[in-house]
Structure formats: C-alpha cells, structure tokens
Homo-oligomer: A and B are copies of this chain.
Amino acid sequence: MISQNNTQQASQRKLRMGMIGGGRGAFIGGVHRIAAAFDQQIELVCGAFSSKPQRSIDSGKDFFLPEERCYGSFEEMLEREATLPAEEKMDFVVIVTPNHMHFPAAKAALEAGFHVLSDKPATFDLAQAKELQSIIEATGLLYGLTHNYTGYPMVKQARQLIQDGKLGKVRKIIAEYPQGWLASKIEDSSEAKQAGWRTDPTKSGAAGCVGDIATHAENLIEYVTGTEIKELAADLTTFVEGRMLDDDANILLRFENGAKGILHSSQISVGQENNLSIRVYGESGGLEWHQKDPNSLLFSPAHGPTEIHRTGSDYTSAAAAHASRLPAGHVEGYLGAFANIYKAFTSHLRCVLDGTEPDAFALDYPRINEGIRGMAFIEACVASSNNNTEWVSLDL
C-alpha cells in the first residue's frame, strides 16, 4: 500500500490525475477528460499527452497546464511526479494511448507507485494481462478499466433485475455492437487518426473489430448476467480489401450456466453508428437494453405487459439510482456513464488513501479480472476463427 503523507485527507480535496496519451487529435483522451471533470472530484494536474514533447506541451496548454507538467514520455512523467511533494503530485494515472502502450504504461505507473485507471482493452495480449495482474497484486495499488458502457444506470438496473431473480435462470443472451465507420478503407487517409492504429496489428493487437468493440459487448454480457462465457465459436472477417485486421465478427456463445448466446460486432455495417445492445431471456422474464436509447430498459415478465424502466425513476434499484444524476426524462448520455466509472474508481481510491471502507457503489467498476477475460475473449475469437469456427474454451 502506498504511504499517504498528504497533509489533507483525500476526502477533502480533489484527486490529482495524470494522463498518458490523449493529445490533440485523439478521441478517447477528450472523453476521459470530460468524464473526469464531470463530478468535480478530480483535477488534471499533468500529462504525457504525446511522445513528441512539444505536442505534449501544446496539448497541455489546451487544459491550462503548466509546461513543466507536460511531459514528453510517461517514463519522464512517472519519474518526476514521484519526486513532487505529496500535496502536489498526482494520485493516479489514466492511460488513454493506443492498445499496445496500455501494458508498459500501466506496469511503469504501478511500479512507480501510482494507482492506474486504463482504457480498454487492458493489454496487447492475454499474457500481458496476466502479468499485469501479478504486478497489481504485488503493488497493492488500484487498477480500473474503463469498460464505460457498464456505467449506464439502466445497465445496472438490468444487472439488478437478474440478481433479484426477475428473469429466473438465464437461457439466452444476445449482444450486438455494430458500427459502420470502417466500411471503406479510411485508414489510408492521413487524417484518419482513429482508424489508423485500430487497423494496425502492431498497435491494436490480434484483432480489430473484436478488440475494439466486441470486448465491450463481452464485458457487458458478463456484467449484466453474472454468467461467464464458457466457450465460443467465431467467424471473423476482413471485408475491406487490404485491411490487416478483422472488421466484422459473428460469434456463438455457450455459458457456464448452460445458457446460449450470440455476440456480433461490426465496423462495416453502413448506417450503424455505435449500436451496442444486449438482450437476455430467462425462464421467467426477458430484458433488452440499447445504448442508442440508454435511459430505457425493457423488462418483460413471463406474464403481463412489458415494462419500460427509465433512468431517474423512483422505482429503480439503488445501483441505478446511484448512477443517475438527473430527474427522469433529462437524457443521461455516454459521458455520464463514462463518468460513473471515474466516480466509483475515485470513491474507492479516496477510501484507500484515507483508510476507510468503500461501500458497494465504490467497488462497482471493472478491474484486471475483467481485463483478463477480455483478452482471453479476443484470443479465443481469433483462435476459433482461424480453425474454421471450432469451439474454443474461455476457461482461464
């Protein structure tokens, strides 16, 4: 456990965050900064926003950071920040780089004594994820993973309904994540920063579409249902000629509890924006949630009409209520859900820093276990697809 020599209790101040990655032109870095700012509990105090020092400084200026805390590398940042007085230095780092940098940055940060919040997927491959788990355990530091879609109130409501037995034993699960933005080879265009690294196997990992978005669906399934994928059979495709990674995935699922399922994701489904969804059917009820309309959850009991559960309503579960900031009907979106991951992580971190007990809300965020399962999922998909869709186990 990191020693706490701050003069002030963490519960009485903003937490200080350093960012690795997320310089000008990045998408997810900006998302993280808004999510971190949302509840006014976190202060961005430094960053290694780019591997190009001047670009890192320029990026930092956008957030009014002093030059001296805009570093040219995460190694530099970790080294310097570690030397700062307790009341100045960052409390944790957030990692928002392309995938191949997640592991080295997280490893270095943890070894330098900093808690870590990381964008997904956890690492470049499964072996790294397992190694990272060892490091986390060895350091005793916090590690969070921003599978942000589980931050939506109605996702938590879905999870609660299943925990409460409203669906009975779960039988069938369908998760989808279609997008259409990579239907043509935009990664060749010089401006296409987002497309570039995502379709580059040296930066993205063993899979394209599967690593980038199917993992969100996989995480959503296991979070909502509490059931783990036991084995899968995948048919991955690269539709766009010359692309180096899969841009479409059709996957059959079998679960530990005997349920069956389907997970499909795509980056070539023209007209689809970001349509993550999940449907779960049990012996005595069914439910359905679509990220496109995230504040509605359809719950169908075996008898009687389908109910529309809504974010902010007085009948929702404590977990859903805790994840909501507005009265019903005031649309709560992607950034609020993302901020909920930050909210839980920082609540937990404050408890750690102050030596207090976290409540259930503070513990409700994804960690290295989810990261390992995500990496195992990716590798199983690739292995299955390479073997003509044979069933591959996810037992770890």
B40→A40 contact, CB < 8 A: no
The stretch from A88-96, A132-140, A261-269 touching chain B is A261-269
B274→A260 contact, CB < 8 A: no
B286→A271 contact, CB < 8 A: yes
Query: Which residues from chain B contact A13 at a C-beta distance below 8 Å?
Result: 64
The CA of A281 and the CA of B182, in the complex, are separated in Å by 12
B248→A270 contact, CB < 8 A: no
Does chain B have a CB within 8 A of A235? yes
Does chain B have a CB within 8 A of A353? no
Query: Which residues from chain B contact A273 at a C-beta distance below 8 Å?
Result: 310, 312, 327-330
A306→B250 contact, CB < 8 A: no
Q: How far is the CB of A347 from chain B (nearest CB, A)?
A: 14
Q: How far is the CB of A154 from chain B (nearest CB, A)?
A: 11
Does chain B have a CB within 8 A of A184? yes
Query: Which residues from chain B contact A248 at a C-beta distance below 8 Å?
Result: 171-172, 260
Query: Which residues from chain B contact A252 at a C-beta distance below 8 Å?
Result: 233, 235, 250, 252, 389
Does chain B have a CB within 8 A of A174? yes
Given A37-B40, A40-B37, A286-B180, answer yes or no on A172-B266 (Cβ-Cβ < 8 Å): yes
Does chain B have a CB within 8 A of A298? yes
Total chain A interface residues with beta-carbon distance under 8 A: 92
- A288-341 contacts to B (CB < 8 Å): 288, 291-294, 298-310, 312-315, 325-336
The stretch from A28-36, A47-55, A106-114, A366-374 touching chain B is A28-36
The CA of A180 and the CA of B298, in the complex, are separated in Å by 15
B329→A274 contact, CB < 8 A: yes
Which of B171, B262, B268 touches A262 (beta carbons < 8 Å)? Answer: B262
A residues with CB within 8 A of B? 12-14, 27, 30-31, 33-34, 37-40, 44, 61, 63-64, 167, 171-172, 174, 178-181, 183-184, 233, 235, 237, 239, 248, 250, 252, 254, 260-262, 264, 266, 268-275, 279, 281-288, 291-294, 298-310, 312-315, 325-336, 388-389, 391
Given A14-B64, A273-B310, answer yes or no on A315-B327 (Cβ-Cβ < 8 Å): no
13 A-B contacts (beta carbon < 8 Å): A37-B40, A183-B281, A250-B262, A252-B389, A269-B281, A270-B282, A271-B298, A273-B310, A306-B310, A331-B333, A333-B333, A335-B336, A388-B391
Which of B178, B264, B281 touches A266 (beta carbons < 8 Å)? Answer: B281
Given A252-B250, A270-B281, A271-B298, answer yes or no on A291-B331 (Cβ-Cβ < 8 Å): yes
The CA of A64 and the CA of B11, in the complex, are separated in Å by 9
Query: Which residues from chain B contact A302 at a C-beta distance below 8 Å?
Result: 183-184, 270
The CA of A237 and the CA of B254, in the complex, are separated in Å by 11
Among A171, A179, A304, the most chain B Cβ lie within 10 Å of the Cβ of: A171
